[in-house]
Amino acid sequence: MKSRDTLIRLKRFQADEKRRQVVQIETMVSEFERMAAELDREIKAEEAKAGITDPSHFAYPTYARAATARRDNLRGSADDLKIKLEDARSALTEALDDLKMVEVLEDREKANERILAAQ
């Protein structure tokens, strides 16, 4: 009985840890996307100020060029994190399934103990 309680606590801890990882990755993805959108606005403003929107033009603003590279890097990182997010969600689902299985076994064991005690 004691070992089952320990196993349940372990499974709950693992599920909570997986949940925290999912939330952390979701937060990072949304932050990267927010930063990329902000850089988009800054690029547009810089292009409007300079009157040049063609990145291959010799007078294209240096800040706009650097911001474009930064924005593209952020989007790439967000895309990579989305793949990790799917993996983390799968791991969370698996951890929750394991926890539920152990809890069901515990409930069955307690029900059997009550039946035996009533006899």
To which residue do tokens 């790439």 refer?
Answer: 76
Q: What is the pLDDT of residue 1?
A: 53
Tell me the whole-structure pTM to 2 decimals: 0.81
Rg of the chain on CA atoms, in Å: 26
Between CA 14 and CA 91 the distance in angstroms is 10
The answer to whether the beta carbons of residues 95 and 14 sit under 8 Å apart is yes
Residue range 53-110, pLDDT digits in tens: 999 999 999 999 999 999 999 999 999 999 999 999 999 999 999 999 999 998 898 8
pLDDT tens string 36-54? 999 999 999 999 999 999 9
Percent helix, strand and coil across the chain, each to the nearest 5: 90, 0, 10
The pLDDT, as a whole number, for residue 97 is: 96
